[in-house]
Amino acid sequence: MPEPAYWAVGWVTASWWQRRAEETYGVAGAELTEWRPWSLPALRKEFNQAKKTDPRFAAWWEENSKEAYNTGLANASAAFDNYAKSKSGKRKGVRMGAPRFKSKRKARLSCRFTTGTIRLEASGRHVTLPRLGTIRVHEPTAKLLHRVQAGRARILSATVRHERGRWLVAFQVETARDIRRVARPDVAVGIDLGIKTLAVTADSTGEIHTVPNPRHLSTALKQLRRASRAVSRRRGPDQRTGRKPSRRWEKANARRNKVHHRVANLRADALHKLTTSVAGQYGTVVIEDLNVAGMVKNRRLARHIADAGFGEIRRQLTYKTRQRHATRIIAADRWFPSSKTCSGCGAVKAKLPLHVRTYACDVCGLVIDRDTNAARNLAALAATAVTGTGVAGDQDTAPAVSKPRGADHKTRTTRPRRKTGTGRAGGATLPHQQQKEAGDRPQAEPLKLW
């Protein structure tokens, strides 16, 4: 059965394809089919008309909550907005593509309830949601229940989603922020992340703490390989022929997913314990601006870097320091040589290979662990950092350093063009390569949705 998000993507893009076909026939711009709007009110209005007449919806739409349809339409509207803003340069970050159809097996199943009966029961172990009724939850809701009963919190919405083999419910709550005091507000700490040791912290008082890397994925790798071999021996689904998976394949796949879910839960628990301890103890936290997306391109270290969760550590530290403790978080410049700089005299080494785990200064003779030296240098940046905007989630910035090899501009993100005659008999350039080379040259063109 087609879902509202699928319907919305097809309904909006149908006008794009129609206009594209009319342009090939030489239809004038004023006579082309009008663009279909993708705002949420417009999608709601059109879907309410289609669900009563379209045979794909008429038989079952009344059996479900209206919030299930509204969630899909809202997600589709947000996807079109992100695509249009990214196309026109108004959206920062990675360029967004046009919304497309997604398989139900790969999509995260979720529904957001904004109206109806949404409350926590007095027992502290049950929640009531629209159309679903009263449901028992695994974790107690006493903390949120006490806030709601005391009038210090108000529930705005509830989102039900299926994640890691379990159904979860998350409440969006409006409440007064309770700023928690840190244990050492005048102490700054620098955090150096790594693979051999997950984190090495060095504060301004000279204390050094090492957090070992639990390596959850590496520990479960043998079990995961055994489960994957069992899945490969079963008859799985085939989208090309439309073959459905067998019961044995579904059971084997569930056992494999259970291993993945356990690894993800263990990793999340370890990272939360680390970030909560750091955010609640120090008044200033200095972290590295790591290029995690570029680091995982190293095929030898990709699995270990992903297992460590460098990006998740920074995300958790950002909101925990800003929103829970109102402390400073400083992001060191990406080109700051924290490992190559001597924490004793400030001398910078020209080269320091990754396999060299001990730092030996040629000027002052300091011999220290590589990660400890980097953490001490990061902690020293707290005294020279520039205050940020103060917005929740924003970070203070450390003094910028000169980039090596004179790279004062953004490096090229696309691969260099292959020269004519390289790796091809005759040296002829194919038509699609000519089009690509022409597209590499900057051209001032108006915004086109397709």
Q: Distance (Å, rounded) from C-alpha 228 to C-alpha 225?
A: 5
Contact by Cβ (8 Å): 347, 364: yes
67, 192, 307, 396: which one is catalytic? 192
Whether residue 192 lies in the annotated active site? yes
Structure tokens at 414: 């696309």
67, 203, 288, 307: which one is catalytic? 288
Quickly count: other Cβ atoms within 10 Å of residue 110's Cβ.
16
Length of the chain: 450
67, 203, 307, 371: which one is catalytic? 371
Nearest to 53 by CA among 118, 5, 7, 112: 7
> Using a CB cutoff of 8 Å and minimum separation of 24, what contacts does 311-318 make?
312/268, 312/271, 313/191, 313/193, 313/199, 313/271, 313/274, 313/275, 313/287, 314/287, 314/290, 316/271, 316/272, 316/275, 317/191, 317/275, 317/278, 317/279, 317/285, 317/287, 318/393, 318/395
Contact by Cβ (8 Å): 145, 126: no
142: which residues sit within 8 A by CB, 6+ positions away? 124
Specify which residues 188 forms β-bridges with. Answer: 284
Q: Distance (Å, rounded) from C-alpha 80 to C-alpha 86?
A: 10
Whether residue 396 lies in the annotated active site? no
Structure tokens at 378: 């990061």
Whether residue 81 lies in the annotated active site? no
Burial of 296 (0-12, 13-18, 19+ CB in 10 A): middle
Opening angle at CA 251, ends 249 and 256, nearest 5: 90
Active centre residues (catalytic): 192, 288, 371
